[in-house]
Chains A and B, each alone.
Chain A
């Protein structure tokens, strides 16, 4: 199974790269050939994603989205555009090919000559591609080697989990799976209006390439994490003057055990928020580029720069719109960066020649991002529940601290609210919205302790992440009451900030790291000003913008309470962004120091040499001080599915005709099976067993019925006194949990449910040994298969000794 996972993950990477880089590159290479490689990467990424997201959305809106229309709307525009661009060359090539084929058909040319000519044409193309790639790589061999090493490390660090743990790593993935499944019926907003971008990409790959959605959700994470980090790298590399400064920040972020593991724990899940991160920095980069090209265009009245500036503005708008389309939190971060740019580029931004187009681009981005969702809302679709929760957080209706504090109560309360609703237990708002997923409902997601449900995807299970924020509100209140002076307030803000982030963000709880951030901000700010004095305005403004962005982020997200502002997002989420952009801060700080060598001595070689040495020193020091980050792998306590369950699912889908089987399980299979088969909830099944004495009949009308039973049940994120115990008659004898939703599958309840199910299966197999058999078994998991006659179904209610 591991090798299948690796193969599938690699296939997903190739498919995604082909879609968002390969095809745009083939079509638009001519337009962007003069731009830097890293810019081209961001451009293709933006164009590819933008086109797929919006095409899928439009087709969904028209209710005509399926394999054929998706292929049609991909191939026809792409093919048409390519032919339009290359019709002359293609005509010549086509004529040559036809001539060759004609000769072969007429027998003028022998098969060997014909095959040789075909081979020559193929080799010519391959050589051309290789030459092109080699031309790019050969100029920066060291850099590409370092990038490759980084990618390998990223795959190991974030990909290992998805390869060795087959289940969903996050409890809310089933809900996203459900939404994507609904897109198969052209219902894009099945649970209400929600940023659709990521779902469109997953749906597109699923429909066009026939890869099951659950496989994409399990394994797309590797592709996603590579692109997120590549976006970060190309951004840093794009704004840094020196060649190697980027690696310092990247190394600290990716390789060194410098940040708290919780800051990157979500990178093992393929979730929309993380997916959207890859569009934040490109949008900022194109704003920076806009300022540069616009300045040149104004200065030199150059049509080329004017065109480039227009392109930059448009691309910034596209990227910004995609942050909206994928996840609003990404938009918030991009927005905060824009605020910082207002400070950094204050000298230019308010000039009409900059402002008008920039504002136009901003509005266009906003328009492109919001329009599809606005259309859906106008069409009568309600907002998805989690958006309400997000708005609530932003408007201060419930701070992250409050959320964390009340997590347990809320979870149980929401479970209570879900009473009478079998469908999709657990995911509260999201699940309620999608409650009509079938009679038997779905496992949905857990809403683990410490996590909020709905859009509140499980961030981490680590205990330290669940610490409530300090009582900033109380302190600030006191401060206001006493009317302390501004400096005291600032001092208090600083100390609050330090205490907020030092444990949440860094792997070691040290004040020094927080101070280092401020120091870097200071250096970058001062360096930016100095650069401006040295007439390196673009670079200087960028440095100021980055430092300001970090400060805005710190105070805006972590000290909002102290400033009397609403908290935009909870610590668990904001720290993901913070550590993501801290790499920019550290890299740019190093870069600005060595940048002076270039500015003052006009020696790029020296600058690059020093940047290499400095980055190497930072990397070596961080390695010595912090060590290497180990792969992030879920522990058993945090797993939501056993490997056996997923392996079984894979085999069941592969070996049975669609719609001929049902899985009775307590896990996430409801959404995973999509249109292949049917699902029945274990808890519903067991509740029917209670009625055995009343001669109640329970039938499942498919030929094959698979029963998933965990012999050593998972905790499902909630540890309990009997964690790790195997199913037993004692537990089977306990009363069946009465709670609804996901609650019967959590903690000790799960042990009771699985124990009952285990003894039911044993008894049923005893009664029908020829028809019920063990389909799969390992140390922790067992799957029974019942083969029945569909014209005369088995009554699955039997007396197995633990009915009550």
Chain B
């Protein structure tokens, strides 16, 4: 058999193909690297805004002003200063641009015939429900004023007071402190559809953190239930759905509605969504401004210093760098793709400023390139070892960042509440561009979701819900926030994952919980906008400063927006209509009859059609 040499033509062809393959593999990387301006924060320019403290909408509370103003208003019987219901109601008024009249006694509200409020919200702690109270409530109801019982009086009082029971639509007060196994949220009230907060299998037991002890009221006809409890299994088949302990419902009267919330849902931001949903249930439609931003804040990841080598070797059998790059990052990247989230990484270059292990510039560059490619943003975390002061830490961080990414301007910082005062007064160049402070606030407090720090233009945002694990209560709260504000602020604290002290804190153990939580909390990401913290900041500033008015004529709603700045977002909910056309904006359907409207001009005209 004679051997044949490769011809020059074939040799040339093979070489070309090899070169082509080489080019194809390398070119993408080279181009990506060359065009990756990782050392510049792209959100500095794109999210620049001058809106600040002075532009924010302020709720009118003086009786005279409110009655003379054209804006919608509500009346609240209770106290704003009590830090519970009143605070939530007040915040909600700020967000929905309503005015508010607040009385500590219902008898102080004498002007109810002058101008009709959207509703009278009642904190039962400020009511006696005696004959006089009932007469007044009845008179308001007869006038067509809807009542919202944000909290209920004790079981015994309801059981004994037939007039009150009739007003609340309670046919039977069955039992105080009944044990239930979970809660059912019905479709059409909060966004997200029907949800059953019950434990179906033992592994889900850790999700259950709803209040499982409650008074059991069976409702009368003429009521519509929005949320009820689910009884224990042994009682399940014996009790009809309609007889289950009701948690939120509406009693229809001749001219108005009485809404009842039987549970502690107004002590935190869950109340926002409930109030918005109640306003929607009052009328054929409801229109209110929203933020439309979903942000995820990852705290203390990545770390650029090769610290805690012993712990890392013990638990991960890898050094810090390998854990950051090869263990956590791939999952984070997948999670971002799955949830559509744009993460904001609140970085501390190192945990321990007293040890010899300083931050690695290569490590930093590696991650900043990844952030830039994915559209993520980096912020600063104030986390540090106790021996180092905050001033020192910030100074050391500045030196490090200025040395290697001097052009990167940090717009946000993650800080404890106690550190805010220092941050505002500090003359630290690293903070000169910071306009957002994310605080690690308590989940179930009635504190403000976001506010300007004092009289400054720095916005303080609370990271509300932890993604460390899924729970029913957090899910319910997120549904409420989606309904009221189209807003999510999820926090993922990886401090202990990158510095573990037990095997339970390892990433492979926590990741499943994190992904379950993130997938659930951000399930509406198809409709709402995923944002980094700077984008969220800008949207919140717009949201706080804008004001609006609207009028409906036949099948046309005209919305006029004051302080309009580039765009504004609204939620529109209709019971029996759909949006046909929008002039001056774009619209996205969230659910049946629920739309997210993005106004791109100061006047928007929405044309409606009747739903078949």
Does A789 touch B at the CB level, under 8 Å?
yes
The answer, among A655, A792, A797, for a CB contact under 8 Å with B228, is: A792
Interface readout for B217-250 with A: 1 if CB under 8 Å, 0 if not? 0001111110010000000000011100000000
Instruction: State whether A792 touches B225 (Cβ < 8 A).
Output: yes
Q: Tell me the minimal C-beta distance from B251 to chain A in angstroms.
A: 9
Asked if A792 and B221 sit within 8 Å, CB to CB, the answer is no
Report Cα–Cα, A697/B575, bound state, in Å: 25
Q: Verify if B187 is at the interface (C-beta below 8 Å from A).
A: yes
Within the complex, the shortest CB–CB distance from A721 to chain B, in Å, comes to 34
A363 within 8 A of B: no
Q: Is B612 an interface residue (CB 8 A)?
A: yes
Q: What is the distance, in angstroms, from B592's C-beta to the closest C-beta of chain A?
A: 10
Check B221–A795 contact: CB distance below 8 A: yes
For A697, the chain B residues whose CB sits under 8 A away are: 221, 240, 242
**Residue numbers in A under 8 Å from B171 (CB-CB):** 695
Taking the closest CB of chain A, its distance from the CB of B323, in whole angstroms, is 46
Contact A793 B252 (CB under 8 A): no
Q: Judge whether A773 and B186 touch: CB under 8 Å.
A: no
B442 contacts chain A at the CB level, 8 A cutoff: no
Q: A768-B224, A771-B575 are in contact. Are A793 and B242 (CB under 8 A)?
A: yes
**A64 at the binding interface (Cβ < 8 Å):** no
Interchain CB contact under 8 A, A792 and B241: yes
The closest CB in chain B to the CB of A770 belongs to B575
Q: Which single residue of chain B is at the shortest CB-CB distance from A795?
A: B221
Contact yes or no, A792 B252, CB < 8 A: no
In the bound complex, residues from chain A placing their C-beta under 8 Å from that of B241 are: 791-793
- CA of A269 to CA of B194 in the docked complex: distance in angstroms? 48
Q: Which residues of A contact B254 (CB under 8 A)?
A: 766
Is the CB of A94 closer than 8 A to any CB of chain B? no
Q: Report the nearest A residue to B254, measured CB to CB.
A: A766
User: What is the bound-complex CA distance between A795 and B225, given in angstroms?
Assistant: 11
- Which of A699, A791, A793 neighbours the largest number of chain B CB atoms within 10 Å of its CB? A791
Residues of B within 8 A of A799 (CB): 221-222
A766–B241 Cα distance when bound, in Å, is 24
Interface residues on chain A, size class: 20 to 34
Chain A contacts of B433 at CB under 8 A?
A: none
Chain B residue with minimal CB distance to A699? B242
Residues on the B chain within 8 Å of A692, using CB: 221
Asked if residues A794 and B224 are in contact (CB atoms below 8 Å), the reply is yes
Docked complex: B480-520 residues within 8 A CB-CB of A: none
B576 interface residue (CB < 8 Å to A): yes
Convert A311-323 into 0s and 1s, putting 1 for each residue whose CB lies closer than 8 angstroms to a CB of B. 0000000000000
| Chain B neighbourhood of A792, CB < 8 A | 184, 186, 225, 228, 241-242
A769 contacts across to B, CB distance below 8 A: 284, 575
Q: Is the interface of A mostly helix, strand, loop or mixed?
A: loop
Min CB distance B191 to A, Å, is: 15
Query: Is B188 at the interface (CB under 8 A from chain A)?
Result: yes
Which residues of the partner chain B approach A768 to less than 8 Å between Cβ atoms? 224, 252
* Binary B-proximity of A763-780 (CB < 8 A = 1, otherwise 0): 000111111010000000
Q: Kindly list chain A residues whose C-beta atoms are within 8 Å of the C-beta of B184.
A: 791-792
> For the complex, is B281 an interface residue (Cβ under 8 Å from A)?
yes
Q: Distance in Å from the Cβ of A229 to the closest Cβ of chain B?
A: 42
Q: Range of interface residues on chain B? A: 20 to 34
Shortest distance in angstroms between A757's beta carbon and chain B's nearest beta carbon? Answer: 17
Judging by beta carbons under 8 Å apart, are A655 and B612 in contact? yes
Q: Say whether A773 contacts B576, CB under 8 Å.
A: yes
Measured between alpha carbons, how far is A794 from B254 in the docked complex, in Å?
Answer: 17
Known contacts A792-B186, A792-B241, A794-B224; decide if A770 and B194 are in contact (CB<8 Å).
no
Q: What's the Cα separation between A697 and B223 when bound, in Å?
A: 12
Hey, which chain B residues are within 8 Å of A766, CB to CB? 252, 254
Chain B residues lying within 8 Å of A767, measured Cβ to Cβ, are 222, 252
Inter-chain CA distance A769–B241, complex, in Å, is 23
- Identify the closest chain B residue to A767 (Cβ): B252
Any chain B CB within 8 A of the CB of A19? Answer: no
Check B194 against A789 for contact (C-beta < 8 Å).
yes
Chain B 299-337 interface mask (CB, 8 Å, partner A; 1/0): 000000000000000000000000000000000000000
Task: Name the distance in Å between B283's Cβ and chain A's nearest Cβ.
Answer: 8
Given the complex, which residues of B lie within 8 Å of A791, measured CB to CB? 184, 186-187, 194, 241
How many angstroms from the CA of A801 to the CA of B194 in the assembled complex?
34
Considering only residues 203-227 of chain B, those with a C-beta below 8 Å from chain A are 220-225
**Distance of A787 from chain B, by nearest CB (Å):** 9
Q: Which residues of B contact A655 (CB under 8 A)?
A: 612
Q: How far in angstroms is the closest Cβ of chain B from A413?
A: 38
Cα separation A793 to B225 with both chains bound (whole Å): 9
The smallest beta-carbon distance between A617 and chain B, in angstroms, is 59
Do the beta carbons of B220 and A789 come within 8 Å of each other?
A: no
Is A607's CB within 8 Å of the partner chain B?
no
Is A798 engaged at the interface, CB distance under 8 Å to the other chain? yes
Which residue in chain B gives the minimum CB-CB distance to A698?
B221
* C-alpha spacing A768/B222, complex, angstroms: 8
Residue from A766, A773, A789, A798 having most chain B Cβ neighbours under 10 A: A789
Q: Given A697-B221, A771-B224, A789–B188 Cβ distance below 8 Å?
A: yes
| Distance in Å: Cβ of B119 to nearest Cβ of chain A | 16
User: Taking CB as reference atom, which chain A residue is nearest B249?
Assistant: A792
Q: Tell me if A695 and B220 are in contact (CB < 8 A).
A: yes
Contacts of A773 in B (CB 8 A): 576
With a 10 A CB-CB cut-off, give which of B194, B224, B612 has the most chain A CB atoms.
Answer: B224
B235 → chain A closest CB, angstroms: 17
Which residues in A have their C-beta under 8 angstroms from that of B228?
A: 792
Task: Tell me which residues across on chain B come within 8 A of A798, comparing CB atoms.
Answer: 221-222
**Contact between chains at A789 and B575 (CB < 8 Å):** no
Name the residue in A767, A796, A797, A798 with the highest tally of chain B Cβ atoms < 10 Å from its Cβ. Answer: A767
**A799 shortest CB reach to chain B, Å:** 8
CB proximity of A145 to chain B, nearest CB, Å: 47
Minimal Cβ-Cβ distance residue in A for B188: A789
Q: Report the separation of the CA atoms of residues A793 and B187 in the bound assembly, to the nearest whole angstrom.
A: 12
Question: In the docked arrangement, what's the CA distance between A692 and B220, Å?
Answer: 10
On chain B, the residues within 8 Å of A795 by CB distance are: 220-223, 242
Inter-chain CA distance A388–B94, complex, in Å, is 79
- Could you tell me the distance between the alpha carbons of A789 and B281 in the complex, rounded to whole angstroms? 14
> How far does the Cβ of B389 sit from chain A's closest Cβ, in whole Å?
57
- Residues 255-272 of B contacting A (Cβ, < 8 Å): none
Looking at B222, B223, B240, the one whose CB has the most chain A CB atoms below 10 A away is B222
Q: Is the CB of A770 within 8 A of B242?
A: no
**Residue on B with the closest CB to A656?**
B612
Interface residues of B in 132-166 (CB under 8 A from A): none
Query: What is the CA–CA distance of A156 and B602 in the complex, to the nearest angstrom?
Result: 61
Task: Report the minimum CB–CB distance from A493 to chain B (whole Å).
Answer: 65
Determine the distance from Cα of A793 to Cα of B221 in the docked complex, in whole angstroms: 11
Instruction: Report B566-592 residues with CB < 8 Å from chain A CB.
Output: 575-576
Inter-subunit contact A770/B221 (CB<8 Å): no
Would you give the shortest CB distance from B577 to chain A, in whole angstroms?
A: 10
By a CB distance below 8 angstroms, the chain A residues around B612 are 655
Chain B's nearest CB lies how many Å from the CB of A582? Answer: 52
Encode contact with B along A512-540: 1 for CB under 8 Å, 0 otherwise.
00000000000000000000000000000
A233 to chain B, nearest CB (A): 47
Q: Which of A695, A699, A770, A771 has the most CB of B within 10 A?
A: A770
CA distance A769 to B188 in the complex (A): 14
Contacts of B576 in A (CB 8 A): 770, 773
- Chain B residues within CB distance 8 Å of chain A: 171, 184, 186-188, 194, 220-225, 228, 240-242, 252, 254, 281, 284, 575-576, 612
User: What are 30 A-B residue pairs whose CB atoms fall within 8 Å in the complex?
Assistant: A695-B171, A695-B220, A697-B221, A697-B242, A766-B252, A766-B254, A769-B284, A770-B284, A770-B575, A771-B224, A771-B575, A773-B576, A789-B187, A789-B188, A791-B186, A791-B187, A792-B184, A792-B225, A792-B241, A792-B242, A793-B241, A793-B242, A794-B224, A795-B220, A795-B221, A795-B222, A795-B242, A798-B221, A799-B221, A799-B222
Given contacts A770-B281, A770-B575, A793-B241, 6 further A-B contacts (CB under 8 A): A697-B240, A697-B242, A769-B575, A792-B184, A792-B225, A793-B242
**7 closest pairs, A vs B, by CB?**
A767-B252, A770-B575, A795-B221, A792-B225, A789-B186, A798-B221, A797-B221
